[in-house]
Every structure is written in C-alpha cells, then in structure tokens.
C-alpha cells in the first residue's frame, strides 16, 4: 500500500482570544483525501481550530502546514486559492440574491473565465436538483436545509483540496443530514479532498472518519482511530 501524502500538519499549536488561551498544544497529521472527525463538548475549541486552519485567527505558538506549505501569515483568501474551503457554522447564504449569484460569489476569489465558472457551477448543481429549480430565484426562498445545500455547493465549487466543515447538520432533519453527507462523500471520491468535520452528531461523524480528534477544554483528549471510541461507553469515559 502506498503511503498517503500529508495534507495538514500541526505541531504544538496554541491559540486564543484577547488574554484567553482556548487551544493548547495541538499536534496532528492528516493525510490527503482523508477525513478527520473533530469532536468535543460546547466550548472545547472546535470552531476555533477550524478558524485557525482557515487563517481567521493566528496561532500564538506552533506551526501549521498544509501540503507542506507553512501557512503563517497567509490570509483566508489566499488559503482559498490554495484549495482550503471553509463552510462555517450557520448557512452563510445571501438571502436577497439568486442561488446563481450566491454560487458565483463563492468563486469571486478565483480568476476564472466565464466558461470555467459556469462549468464549476454546473458540476455542483448537478447532484442537487433543488438548486437548479431555484437557480434564478432568491436564495431566501429556499428552506433552511436547502440553504445548507447551497452553502455546501458554493464550498465545493471552489474545487477544494481541503474541506473544513463546521457543524453541517445544524438545522437539518436527520434524513437531510444523511443526504448531505452522502453528497459530500461522493464529491470526496471524485475530487479526493481531505475533510475536517466538526459535528455534534458524534456517531455519524466517527462512521465517516479515518481519524478522530477529541478536544476537551482546548486540549487533545484522544487522537486516533474512530473505531476505538465508537463504543458509547468508551466515548463517555473519554469525556
Ligand atoms: N470571538 C471570540 N472571542 C472571545 N472568546 C471566544 C470567541 N470565540 C470563541 N470564544 C471562546 O473560545 C472557547 C472555544 O470556543 P469554540 O467556539 O471554538 O468552541 P466549540 O468547541 O466550537 O463550541 P460549540 O460546540 O459550542 O460551537 C469558548 O470558551 C468560547 O467562549
């Protein structure tokens, strides 16, 4: 079996807000095309870690590399061009413009010809018929779950190599979340991107992951195979 090339490598990373440190000594390696479930209680530091990876917050200590590139000082827009896509918590959809324009906005950071841009949009809309149906209508007319689909489509249109997903199940009925996950995993098979998935829906997240990272109060409590903590009791012990 050939070795998996490294996507993310964090070494001794700490971060915080003002005078408060909320992440401490975080180190892990995630391979290209692999999925990591990032779990932990409310306030454990999960969203903060994603913000660090997307460059919305600088580390106080330690190093972060993505495909061997040191990301220190690299702003979000440049990370996006480097293939890092971030789907924040909540939908982040602009309700007063059309679905089409929401998708175009997601590509604004890239120098694409009109043909390339339309092809990218076509590709992400194809598996999501509801977006085609509402393509020329205001995004605010979509239901909450459908807006989540739009947010995902916009994220995937960027052709990510690395996808950062913050609680994609929020506001979705369980069946819709399963559909969303299937869409994501199908896209991953084709585009081979890595995923870091923050998810309260722990069992589901562990099932789709190659690696699990459990945070407790900003520190790593567990880093390893998801199967080892799939058992509910083991997970409770960890918490
Ligand atoms: N912008 C901010 N300014 C100050 N403190 C913040 C800020 N954002 C988060 N925090 C604090 O940092 C800690 C970690 O928050 P974070 O949002 O990363 O946790 P989380 O694990 O994602 O939680 P949740 O599951 O509730 O979303 C919390 O104590 C939170 O209050």
Question: Per residue in 148-207, pLDDT tens?
Answer: 889 989 999 999 999 999 998 887 888 888 888 888 898 898 889 999 999 988 989 999
Question: Poorest-confidence range of 29-33, 64-68, 75-79, 173-177?
Answer: 173-177
Whose C-alpha lies nearest to ligand 1, atom 31? Answer: 43
- For ligand 1, say whether the CB of 48 is within 6 Å of any of its atoms: yes
pLDDT the model gives residue 145: 83
Q: Average pLDDT over the chain, rounded to whole? A: 91
**Residue 68 contacts residue 119 (beta carbons within 8 Å):** no
Mutate to test the pocket of ligand 1, among 15, 17, 219, 220 (most ligand atoms within 8 A of CB): 17
Structure tokens belonging to residue 141: 């007319």
Q: Has residue 110 got a pLDDT over 70?
A: yes
Residue 226 pLDDT greater than 60, yes or no:
yes
Better-predicted residue by pLDDT, 229 or 84: 84
**pLDDT number for residue 92:** 81
pLDDT for res 1? 52
Of the candidates 85, 81, 89, 174, which has an alpha carbon nearest to the alpha carbon of residue 124?
A: 85
Q: What is the pLDDT of residue 179?
A: 83
Please name the residue whose Cα sits nearest to atom 2 of ligand 1. Answer: 17
Q: Does the domain made of 6-89+161-238 have the CATH classification 3.40.50.300?
A: yes
| Helical spans, DSSP H, in the chain | 46-54, 76-81, 99-105, 114-125, 129-133, 144-157, 174-191, 202-208, 227-230, 232-238
Is the pLDDT reported for residue 54 higher than 60?
yes
The closest residue, in CA terms, to atom 17 on ligand 1 is 47
Distance 25 CA to ligand 1 centre (A): 17
Residue 153: which residues within 8 A CB-CB, separation 6 or more? 103, 124, 125, 128, 131
Give 79 or 4, the one with higher predicted confidence. Answer: 79
Q: How far is the CA of 43 from the centre of ligand 1 (A)?
A: 5
Does the interface ipTM go beyond 0.90?
Answer: yes
pLDDT single digits (tens) 13-53 = 999 999 999 999 999 999 999 999 999 999 999 999 999 99
pLDDT score at 116? 93
Residue 212: per-residue pLDDT: 96
In testing the pocket of ligand 1, which one of 16, 20, 22, 41 has its CB within 8 Å of the most ligand atoms?
A: 22
Question: For the whole model, what pTM was predicted?
Answer: 0.92
Q: Residue 82's pLDDT is what? A: 96
Whether the predicted pLDDT of 56 surpasses 80: yes
* Any atom of ligand 1 within 6 Å of the Cβ of 42: yes
Say how many CA atoms lie within 13 Å of 72 toward its Cβ. 9
pLDDT of 2 over the 80 cut: no
Give all strands of the β-sheet with 69-70 in edge-to-edge order: 20-31, 6-17, 61-66, 69-70
Contacts of 126 (CB under 8 A, 6+ apart): none
From ligand 1's centre to the CA of 36, what distance in Å? 20
Check residue 139 and report its DSSP letter: G
Ligand 1 centroid to residue 57 C-alpha, Å: 12
**How many other CB atoms are found less than 10 A from the CB of residue 12?**
12
């Amino acid at each position: 079996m050939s070795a998996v090339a490294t996507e993310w490598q964090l070494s001794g990373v700490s971060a915080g807000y003002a005078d408060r440190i909320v992440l401490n000594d975080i180190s892990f390696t995630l391979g290209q095309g692999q999925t990591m479930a990032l779990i932990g209680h409310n306030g454990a530091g999960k969203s903060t870690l994603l913000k660090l990876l997307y460059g919305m917050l600088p580390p106080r200590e330690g190093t972060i590399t993505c495909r061997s590139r040191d990301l220190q000082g690299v702003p979000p827009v440049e990370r996006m061009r480097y293939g890092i896509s971030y789907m924040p918590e909540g939908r982040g959809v602009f309700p007063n413009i059309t679905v089409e324009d929401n998708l175009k906005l997601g590509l604004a950071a890239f120098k694409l010809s009109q043909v390339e841009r339309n092809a990218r949009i076509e590709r992400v809309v194809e598996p999501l018929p509801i977006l085609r149906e509402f393509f020329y209508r205001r995004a605010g007319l979509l239901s909450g779950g459908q807006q989540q689909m739009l947010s995902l489509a916009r994220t995937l249109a960027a052709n990510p190599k690395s996808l950062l997903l913050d609680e994609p199940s929020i506001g979705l009925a369980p069946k819709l979340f399963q559909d969303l996950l299937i869409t994501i995993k199908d896209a991953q098979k084709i585009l081979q991107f890595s995923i870091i998935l923050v998810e309260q829906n722990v069992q589901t997240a562990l099932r789709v992951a190659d690696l699990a990272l459990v945070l407790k109060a900003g520190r790593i409590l567990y880093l390893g195979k998801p199967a080892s903590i799939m058992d509910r009791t083991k997970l409770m012990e960890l918490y």
